[in-house]
Copies of this chain bind each other. A is one copy, B any other.
């Protein structure tokens, strides 16, 4: 890790000497640059993040600036091409725009199949549905559990759609892997490192939502947790930040899309539903996200949201979803992307994923 030690303007020359000496002891190469007011000392060498904190405490040091990003496998510095995943024949990432849709929670077989059919017909390529719902109140509906997973699998098979569902507990990773095609790690679990390590040991794609106050770097470090375990199939999803703005549930950070794309090769999706918290806001945010270059969306759709067990107010109604899909197709083309269409999937033998970390 390359770093720069900035000395205080009041530091004694001997302070700088001691820093140079210590950099050497740590096996890094020091380089002194004498400023008008402050001495700056570069330190070049292999990564070791604890060193930053050690140098920071030396006498006369003002601050230590780490110049290298703390993530490696998630970084575009080491992997220039976009990662494009193949999930049951659907290509995810780069210019391929995929819309994940379905109900917030799986409530019944009929409801799930009805909504699944509907979103597929409108153009969604991946089916979502929650079986384990993380709720901020212990008194709220917590999901159907394993029975929900079974229904999701069945619906996915019947519709020919890959499925995604949330996993919240490392002890559930195995059972979720049995039924679903993609793990969703929710915003509140973005730094649940036990869970990240556990999904990192599987070979299923992991869809990591950004924590509601996570920096871009922390988010990429969470991806790094999964990647470092050998699972290179990570998708990132922006879902809104917690800010002072009380008009929306969360403030969608649309700039996260191009910022992450510059920093990382991983696909970036957007969740307009949780950001908005109100269905009328979902279409404008969804279109804006694809316009900003997102590789996909995850949207909650419900045919009878007044009776939904959770988050009804943010569920888009079927007719609006169908119109939205048409708009998304057009917007994607303007930014040289393309919404995945049924029939796009490659025939047997499946093409290997391109651009994956190991490839």
Task: Report A's interface with B, CB cutoff 8 A.
Answer: 1-2, 4, 6, 9-10, 31-38, 40, 42, 44-47, 49-50, 53-54, 56-58, 65, 67-68, 70-71, 77, 134-141, 168-171, 188-189, 191-194, 197, 211-213, 215-216, 218, 221-222, 224-225, 228, 241-248, 251-259, 262, 275-276, 280-281, 284-285, 287-293, 305-313, 327, 330-331, 334-335
Contacts and interface: CB of A to CB of B under 8 A. Distances in A.
B243 A50 contact: no
Contacts of A68: 35-38
A245 B217 CA distance: 10
Given A38-B67, A309-B50, A194 B169 contact: yes
B287 A289 contact: no
Contact of A334 (B4, B136, B255, B330): B330
Contact of A255 (B140, B224, B251, B313): B251
A276 B256 CA distance: 11
Contacts of A136: 191, 218, 221-222
A171 B168 contact: no
Contacts of A330: 330, 334
A241 to B, nearest CB: 6
A2 B65 CA distance: 15
A241 B36 CA distance: 35
Contacts of A192: 168, 188-189, 192
A292 to B, nearest CB: 4
Contact of A251 (B139, B169, B188, B251): B251
Contact of A284 (B224, B228, B253, B257): B257
Contact of A140 (B49, B259, B276): B49
A284 B305 CA distance: 33
A213 B242 contact: yes
Nearest to A73: B138
Given A54-B312, A139-B47, A170-B170, A281 B258 contact: yes
A259 to B, nearest CB: 5
A253 B251 contact: yes
Contacts of A188: 191-192
24 contacts: A35-B42, A49-B137, A49-B139, A50-B310, A57-B306, A57-B312, A168-B192, A168-B194, A188-B191, A212-B213, A213-B242, A215-B245, A241-B244, A243-B243, A245-B253, A248-B259, A251-B255, A254-B284, A257-B284, A284-B292, A284-B335, A287-B291, A288-B288, A288-B289
